[in-house]
Amino acid sequence: MTDLTPELRAALSRAVAAGYPFALWRPPYGEAFSLVVGLDAPVEVPVFDAIPVPGFVMAPFDSVDGNLAWLIPADVALLPGGYLYRDGITLGGQPVTDAQRAFAALPQGAPVRAAPDALPAPDATPRAEYEARVARAVAEIERGGVDKIVLSRIEPRDLAPDHDLADLAEALARVHPHAFVSLVSSAPTGTWLTATPEVLLESSAGGLGTMALAGTQWPEAGTDIATLTWPQKIVDEQALVSEFIRAAFIEAGISGVSETPAATVQAANLCHLRSDFTAPAADPAQLADLLRRLHPTSAVCGMPKAPARDFILAEEGTTRGFYTGYLGPRGIDGCTALYVNLRSARVSGGRIFLHVGGGIVAASDPALEYDETVAKTRTIAMVL
């Protein structure tokens, strides 16, 4: 069972007290959290670069360059092996700056909470509004030119007056062992709590990995997921996503790609149809090209991607922010692991904004689509 150690809680409390940007995360099926703290403001950088600064990156859904993300540099890092400090592009066991040396003396002890930020607070999406949006998406699909559009909505809730975001992150890790769980906070991104099941792109000296994810079911507790069946439209959709990923690898000049057959996987109370892709290690230019082609994925945007994204931005405006973007550690222990920012919520002051959505196709029923988003809110809501 994953718990935050007293040392991690102390470091996180120091970062919050000082107003430093930070990222706390636990990898899927991991046994320990990691933390990076930036001692300066985050900067927007290419994720895959010839000389990567280690840290944690976060990118929005709508980006002019899919390889650009906000970086919280690992100026101070508390990893499972202990404290490390950034010196240029390397991490070492001893502090090298006055700010790093002063970090250990910062005050601590207060609960971890999100300060009110300067980012606009999104409005709630009423049921009638979401169902009308789904109906317009179905009409757009029926006109031709787009096969799938992924729509989202927002459900604000009040947090308990005595809440502690560290406790919520810890609780998410306990109930979602399969997920990448994170708590990230910085001025450009706001504060986000995430428990996502979807890998966007993993890269290390050992190779690359990504996945094709489609469809959602929420079976009764205790159901053997091997007995679940999928409608043909989901099987076809998953096949199209897989074909899109194959093409992205080819266009990025990456060969030797292996693919697993599509299979049902469970993510908390939900199940999805997934196939996994692996490939040999690639150079930074190929990785940057691949990331640009993969983000945003069809699972969070639609197919074809360009007209689906145009429809989403026209309907939703900028309300997604970093929801359905990506996030993850960069250059930590020789690995960059990027995840789609799904099953996530933005926190501002005493309010939490649950972001949820679903894929719309020609056969979609607006009422059922809304009900699916309600099921997805439980990923975060079950720990509130």
* pLDDT value at residue 226: 85
Dihedral sign from CA coordinates of 104, 107, 110, 111: negative
Dump pLDDT digits (tens) for 124-173. 999 999 999 999 999 999 999 999 999 999 999 999 999 999 999 999 99
DSSP SS3 for 52: coil
The whole-number pLDDT of residue 234 equals: 84
Q: Please tell me the number of Cα atoms within 13 Å of 306 on its side-chain side.
A: 1
pLDDT at 1 over 70: no
Q: Is residue 1 part of a domain?
A: no
Q: Average pLDDT in the 268-277 region?
A: 87
Q: Round the average pLDDT of the chain to a whole number and report it.
A: 94
Residue 22 lies in a domain: yes
Name the percent of the chain lying above pLDDT 70: 99
Q: What total of structural domains would you count in the chain?
A: 1
Whole-number pLDDT of residue 279: 98
Domain containing 337 — which CATH number? 3.60.120.10
Do the beta carbons of residue 159 and residue 351 sit within 8 Å? yes
Is residue 331 a contact partner of residue 54, using CB atoms and an 8 Å limit?
A: yes
| Residue 273 in domain | yes
Bridge partners, 337 (sequence order): 202
- 45-93: pLDDT as tens digits: 999 998 899 999 999 999 999 999 999 999 999 999 999 999 999 999 9
| Reported pTM | 0.95
C-alpha angle with apex 63: 59 to 67, nearest 5 degrees? 65
Residue 11 lies in a domain: yes
Q: Has residue 198 been placed in a domain?
A: yes
Q: Is residue 278 part of a domain?
A: yes
Residue 255 in domain: yes
Domain residues for 171? 6-381
Sheet containing 82-87: give its strands across.
90-92, 82-87, 76-79, 34-37, 22-26, 180-186, 190-196, 344-348, 351-360, 148-158, 302-303
d(CA 123, CA 25): 28
Q: Which band of pLDDT confidence, cut at 50, 70 and 90, is reported for residue 270?
A: confident
Those residues with Cβ within 8 angstroms of residue 310's Cβ, 6 or more apart along the chain or in another chain: none
Q: How far apart are CA 53 and CA 79, in angstroms?
A: 16
Please determine, for residue 266, whether its predicted confidence score (pLDDT) is greater than 90. no
